[in-house]
């Protein structure tokens, strides 16, 4: 075999392996069109019923979705219970997640399972429910992309430092959201969810009693609003006493949150800073004046939020279930005319972690010589014989086949 042909084959292989390693999943709006076409209406009925029982369903479900997506991605891992009390939901920052949010998803999952057993993930049900509660509270409807898989890992230790704090400034907010591919406009739009629900006195006490040595009360607070907060949260009050996030329309999803910021009525420092910082103030002013702009930005941001750290899809693993060559994969069909047949071992499981930082050290570079290729492949239990097939027509049988179990282990 000529060296040029072998190099072409090797680069071809490396490209395939890189595709396998990536594990990128694709979300689509009609993901369950053939397997559970009524899933959204089923979830909507459950959410509507739950909402008729308690308004807390609205903010609790929306907040649950956000907390799930920011920790390990939108994989419903926040729902997992641990007998040792060390799952995500057990982390201090998640202890305030209202039980009605969890109950909404559990009831929706039960209803969906009754119609489509073993088809729809809890992660997708939570995403649908989050959209539904926005609409039930008066927000504009938007389409939800589906196709997520449920995570199997949930650690309380993963939560600390990965959720926005009420004391964050604009730079800290932007940095945290940027880690998830969300822009400053996305961050400001998602913050608009604070037009619903409530927080607790211990989360804002520093703004009204100990902001700084020169000013116990945060000067960015409207004085009348500061007095209102003091009446609701007097000194030494039970820290779990609840207070509305939006003092004007706390049960309506609207743009009042931004009007409150303009008036100095943001509950958290991380809320009010969106108006006091000159770089974000124009967006706040726009959303305060134009509810249509806010609704559009919120829908866009929610869809982007729902794409965070997708668990690897089943697309690549399905490759193991078809006979080579497959007309579904052009890079395999290329070898259809003269390629040999070989048996494929099945039973591999899809990965649940995908970190691009792992790729450079594990994919051979084109300039590699044999002394560099051998240890790289040896770590995957592949021999030099696997690297360099003795005959061109045996390349797939000796090189690709032993690699497949590794890629999906």
Residue 104 annotated in ligand binding: no
Residue 249 annotated in ligand binding: yes
Tell me the Cα Rg of the chain: 26
Residue 238 annotated in ligand binding: no
Residue 75 annotated in ligand binding: yes
Residue 67 annotated among the catalytic residues of the structure: yes
Residue 334 annotated in ligand binding: no
Angle at 338 between CA 336 and CA 340, to 5 degrees: 85
Among residues 67, 200, 334, 358, which one is catalytic? Answer: 67
- Coil vs helix vs strand at 251: coil
Residue 157 annotated in ligand binding: no
Cα 314 to Cα 143, 310, 319, 352: the distances in Å are 23, 12, 9, 11
Cβ atoms 124, 75 nearer than 8 A: no
Name, in order, each residue with C-beta under 8 angstroms of 289's C-beta and a sequence gap of 6 or more: none
Residue 164 annotated in ligand binding: yes
Other Cβ atoms closer than 10 A to 219: 12
Residue 77 annotated in ligand binding: yes
Residue 393 annotated in ligand binding: no
Residues at the binding site are 68, 73, 75, 77, 88, 164, 194-195, 246, 249, 254
Residues at the binding site for Ca(2+) are 68, 73, 75, 77, 88, 195, 246, 249, 254
Residues at the binding site for heme b are 194
Catalytic residue IDs:
67
Residues at the binding site for substrate are 164
């Amino acid at each position: 075999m000529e060296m040029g042909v072998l190099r072409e084959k090797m680069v071809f292989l490396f490209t395939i392996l890189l595709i396998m390693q990536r594990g990128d999943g694709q979300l689509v709006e009609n993901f369950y069109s053939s397997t559970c076409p009524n899933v959204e209406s089923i979830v909507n009925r459950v959410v509507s019923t739950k909402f008729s029982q308690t308004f807390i369903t609205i903010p609790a479900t929306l907040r649950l979705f956000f907390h799930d997506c920011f920790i390990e991605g939108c994989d419903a891992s926040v729902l997992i219970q641990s007998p040792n009390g060390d799952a995500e939901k057990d982390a201090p920052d998640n202890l305030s997640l209202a039980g009605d949010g969890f109950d909404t998803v559990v009831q929706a999952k039960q209803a969906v399972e009754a119609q489509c057993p073993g088809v729809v993930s809890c992660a997708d049900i939570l995403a649908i429910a989050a959209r539904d509660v926005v609409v039930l509270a008066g927000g504009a409807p938007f389409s939800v992309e589906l196709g997520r898989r449920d995570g199997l890992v949930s650690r309380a230790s993963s939560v600390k430092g990965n959720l926005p704090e009420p004391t964050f400034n604009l730079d800290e907010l932007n940095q945290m959201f940027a880690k998830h591919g969300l822009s400053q406009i996305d961050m400001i739009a998602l913050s608009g969810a604070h037009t619903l629900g409530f927080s607790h006195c211990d989360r804002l006490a520093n703004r009204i009693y100990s902001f700084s040595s020169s000013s116990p009360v945060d000067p960015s607070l409207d004085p009348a609003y500061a007095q209102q907060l003091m009446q609701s949260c007097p000194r030494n009050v039970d820290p779990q006493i609840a207070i509305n996030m939006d003092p004007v329309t706390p049960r309506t999803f609207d743009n009042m949150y931004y009007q409150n910021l303009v008036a100095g009525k943001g509950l958290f420092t991380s809320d009010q800073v969106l108006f006091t910082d000159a770089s974000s103030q124009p967006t706040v002013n726009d959303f305060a004046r134009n509810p249509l702009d806010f609704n559009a930005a919120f829908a866009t941001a929610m869809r982007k939020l729902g794409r965070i750290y997708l668990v690897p899809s089943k697309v690549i693993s399905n490759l193991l279930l078809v006979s080579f060559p497959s007309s579904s994969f052009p890079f395999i069909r290329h070898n259809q005319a003269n390629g040999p047949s070989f048996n494929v071992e099945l039973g591999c499981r899809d990965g649940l972690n995908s970190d691009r930082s792992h790729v450079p050290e594990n994919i051979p570079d084109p300039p590699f010589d044999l002394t560099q290729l051998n240890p790289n492949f040896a770590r995957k239990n592949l021999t030099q014989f696997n690297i360099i097939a003795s005959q061109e027509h045996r390349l797939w049988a000796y090189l690709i086949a032993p690699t497949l179990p590794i890629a999906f282990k």
